[in-house]
Amino acid sequence: MITRSIARLAGAGAAAGVLVAAIALPAVGGAGALFKTASAELNLKAAELLEPPPAEKTVILDAKGNEIAQFYEQYRDVIKLADMGDVMKKAIISIEDYRFYEHGPIDIEGTIRALAKNLGTGRTAQGGSSITQQYVKQVLLNNATTEEDKNKALEATYARKLNELRYAMAVEEKYTKDQILEKYLNIAYFGASAYGVEAAAQRFFGVHASELSLAQAATLAGAVQDPNQTDPNLGKKYRQRLLDRRNVVLARMAELGKITPAEATEAKAKKLGYKGTPLPGGCESSKYPYFCVYVRNEIIKNKVFGKTQKIRTALLSRGGLEIKTTIDPSMQAAADKAIKKHVFATDNPIASEALIQPGTGAIKAMAVSRKYGTSKRKHQLSLNVVADVAHGGGTGFQPGSTFKTFTLITALKKGMKINDGFTVGSGYRAPYYSSFKNCKGENIGDPSHTVTNDEGGTGFKSLQTGTWGSVNTFFLTLEQRVGLCDTIKTAQSLGIKRADGGRLQEYETFTLGINEMDPITVANAYAAIGARGKYCEPMAVTQITDRDGKVKKYNPTCRQALDPEVADATANVLSGVFTKGTMSKVGGIGRPAAGKTGTTDAQATAWFAGFTPDLAGAVSIGDIRGAQKYKLNNVNIGGQYFPEVFGASVPGPIWKDTMLAALKDIDPTPFTPINSARFGGCGQGCAPVRETPDEDETETDPENPVIDDTLPH
């Protein structure tokens, strides 16, 4: 056999001739002597093989430890040899390298036979290599980062074969035969996008490798020779090739005495049995797709998880990680149910909601009224509207009067008491250009345009009554007094940034919510108030376990953004929104809660943001076709007709229903009482002695700015 193979190499070229001469030197002496002589003539010394771990899937878990998604470049589950089943080991050794446990680093006969055929055809037409050599080739392929490198790993040349032999010698010196077989079966490609025997067993037959039958094991053993030509996922012709190949393996196993002829005959009579078990999907098939998209972007873009984006991307898709996240299944279910109740997937306006835990920034739920996907016919959405652009979202929606809270906080920080206030009219116009200065110190007041209240709201307003009634003219006047830049800095201290990643628009209408936001950002800002001024960055990942079982925990990243007593006073004022303000017709949730409605100019979008000490949430609704063009007027939402949509019309009820369900098993935590000596009563801005509360102080939605279209917003 060896002589015939050498003869076939005769015309293979001068380089191959060197190998032929070296191998041909000992006419007798056996394979060991043959290999020893060839090694000496060719200076064939072991060369260390760089063996980075093979690409392995990453699993995403919810807060309870349940799997919610997988990411992978190659679908692979690395397992131990003991978990592969004896029949699988027998099948692969029988067909690929029947003397695997007997020969040394290289199967001389197989190598010469393969090299002769490959050099004759100019390509890798035949394996013929030992399992060790095949492992080496798979490692080189996995190390290849470019097509050129991959082609070099496969090219049918004498030089490549020599390098492969050198690496194989080192591998055999480094590992036992069992270790090599385990590594090979974990790295090999079987077709149908399945890498490694465990993934192949599940993909092909829906079982673990340890559960493979004789026929199934023979099928997988037969697939590794040329998986692209026997890929059962590609159609009938490919499946027939795989079936034929399976029967070759069975015949070989019987020939070697690994199974009886009767067992081979019985196995050959079975159908292929390919199930094509769906590959575990990424975010598209996750129970929580929008949260999944957020996690994926967080890992890829956050330097906490790696120095470069390339490293982070490889870690996610190849690292074999187990990533535990913050999402709470029961809270997610509460948000999903509430949105589904009030907004249909077929509605043009889209509702989205984020739930955040105060004091940690942990994202507990991300819900959207439409399913995640790319099918317009099925009313699916591929944009993560709950989050900002950096986390797969869009440009966001204007949050309206939810931003009045930041002006309220700034006033409290500057020493105003909750009953301090002033008299306002139905319209507001900046007295001077210098009445408002941006954070560059530039005059940006606009005395030429008037902002009005939607429904009255005139007379004396305090921090309390102005907030409860969401009076535009009051908040423009208040912002003028406390300073636009200071108001902006307050918002930024609570994590406020534009959803599109751009600079905040610093106009006098900042307090009316002209900057496009996402629910995660708004909910998290309100969560900081609920945590007595402790701001924590939005957090989705709590723990990562690497492929070796090493655990790294991630703690909240927090800072004290507000004086705790200022936060307490803010919560005190916002609590009245449920009882005396714009949410009074919707009502509270039977426990301490605070919040603020938000509706933008002419009902372009509507919001509600609220919090308890235990959970915060923000709900937005708008039309992603263009909120300014497709406003929330004369629309059907959730099967109900709305002439106008306000913050308390749809977002408020969604928030209420969500909180009732999400917090049902959590004991209520009270707010810290307001420091009455510091914030109670009034100081320099007390109401006139005979002031009678205006009827419109408890209006449902008098919060909408009427702004000239030429005013920047």
Distance CA 136, CA 180 (A): 10
CA dist., res. 474 & res. 486, Å (int): 17
Nearest-angstrom CA–CA distance, 24 and 3: 8
| Domain contains 141 | yes
Span 702-713, pLDDT tens digits: 334 333 332 232
pLDDT digits (tens, 9 = 90+) for 406-438: 999 999 999 999 999 999 999 999 999 999 999
Identify whether 464 is part of a domain.
Answer: no
Q: Which two tokens stand for residue 227?
A: 């998986």
Distance CA 700, CA 482 (A): 27
Residue 16 has pLDDT above 60, yes or no: no
Cα–Cα nearest to 332, from 617, 107, 662: 662
Residue with tokens 């196995």: 267
In the predicted model, is pLDDT for residue 116 greater than 70?
Answer: no
* Boundaries of domain holding 244: 188-280
What pLDDT is attached to residue 46?
86
- Angle between helix axes 86-96 and 236-255 (nearest 10 degrees) is 90
Nearest to 401 by CA among 647, 588, 623, 652: 647
Asked, for residue 543, whether it belongs to a domain, the answer is: no
pLDDT in tens, 193-235: 999 999 999 999 999 999 999 999 999 999 999 999 999 999 9
Instruction: Please tell me whether residue 40 adopts helix, strand or coil conformation.
Output: helix
Q: What secondary structure does DSSP assign to 159-209, as a single string?
A: HHHHHHHHHHHHHHHHS-HHHHHHHHHHH-EEETTEESHHHHHHHHHSS-G
User: pLDDT value at position 126?
Assistant: 42
Q: How far apart are CA 391 and CA 396, in angstroms?
A: 12
pLDDT at 692 over 60: no
Q: Are residues 134 and 241 in the same domain?
A: no
State the pLDDT at residue 699.
Answer: 38
Give the per-residue pLDDT at 528: 98
Say if residues 206 and 277 touch (Cβ distance below 8 Å).
yes
320: left (phi over 0), alpha (psi -120 to 50) or beta: left
CB 672 within 8 A of CB 532: yes
Predicted TM-score (pTM) of the model is 0.82
pLDDT tens per residue across span 650-686: 999 999 999 999 999 999 999 999 999 999 999 989 9
Give domain status of residue 170, yes or no: yes
Residues 612, 355: contact at Cβ < 8 Å?
A: no
Question: Does 591 reside within a domain?
Answer: no
Cβ proximity of 529 and 570 under 8 Å: yes
Please, which residues have CB within 8 angstroms of residue 482's CB and are 6 or more apart in sequence? 407, 410, 411, 414, 416
N residues, the chain: 713
Q: Check if the beta carbon of residue 453 is closer than 8 Å to that of residue 702.
A: yes
Q: At residue 9, does pLDDT exceed 60?
A: no
What pLDDT is attached to residue 120?
54
Give the range among 27-31, 75-79, 156-160, 689-693 with minimum mean pLDDT.
27-31
The pLDDT assigned to 24 comes to 36
Nearest to 708 by CA among 587, 619, 601: 601
User: For residue 574, what is the DSSP state?
Assistant: H
Q: What 3-state DSSP class applies to 235?
A: coil
Structure tokens at 489: 């800095």
Given a cut of 90, is residue 455 above it in pLDDT? Answer: no
pLDDT of 17 = 43
CA distance 224 to 95: 10
Domain ends where: 148, 183, 218? 183
> How many domains would you assign to the chain?
2
On whether both 166 and 243 belong to a single domain, the answer is no
- pLDDT score of 248: 97
Identify whether 347 is part of a domain: no
pLDDT at 487 over 50: yes
Do 262 and 150 belong to one domain? no
CB-CB contact of 395 with 389 (8 Å): yes
Rounded mean pLDDT of 593-603? 94
Kindly state whether residues 31 and 117 are assigned to the same domain: yes
- Give the domain-ending residue among 148, 163, 183: 183
Provide φ and ψ at 552, rounded to 5°: -125, 120
pLDDT at 556: 97
Retrieve residue 99's tokens: 């003397």
**pLDDT over threshold 90, residue 176:** yes
On whether the CB atoms of residues 706 and 454 are closer than 8 A, the answer is yes
Alpha carbon 214 to chain centroid, angstroms: 40
* CA dihedral of 389, 393, 395, 397, whole degrees rounded to 10: -140
Task: Give the chain's mean pLDDT.
Answer: 88
pLDDT in tens, 48-95: 998 988 889 999 999 999 999 999 988 999 999 999 999 999 999 999
Q: Of 252, 280, 308, which residue is a domain's last?
A: 280
d(CA 174, CA 185): 18
Q: Decide if 157 is inside a domain.
A: yes
- Same-domain check for residues 134 and 235: no
- Each residue's pLDDT tens digit, 388-411: 999 999 899 999 999 999 999 999
Same domain, 179 and 234: no
One domain, residues 141 and 200: no
Residue 141 has pLDDT above 90, yes or no: no
In a domain, 417, yes or no: no
Ranges 163-167, 270-274, 344-348: which has the least confidence: 163-167
* 19 and 104, same domain (yes or no): yes
Domain identity same for 236 and 163: no
Q: Are residues 145 and 265 in the same domain?
A: no
Q: What is the pLDDT of residue 42?
A: 56
31, with CB counted inside 10 A (0-12, 13-18, 19+), is middle
Percent of the chain with pLDDT over 70: 86
Residues 13, 97 within the same domain = yes
Domain with 248 in it: what CATH number?
Answer: 1.10.3810.10
CB 435 within 8 A of CB 668: no
Residues 242 and 164 in one domain: no
Which of 368, 313, 374 is closest to 342 using CA atoms?
368
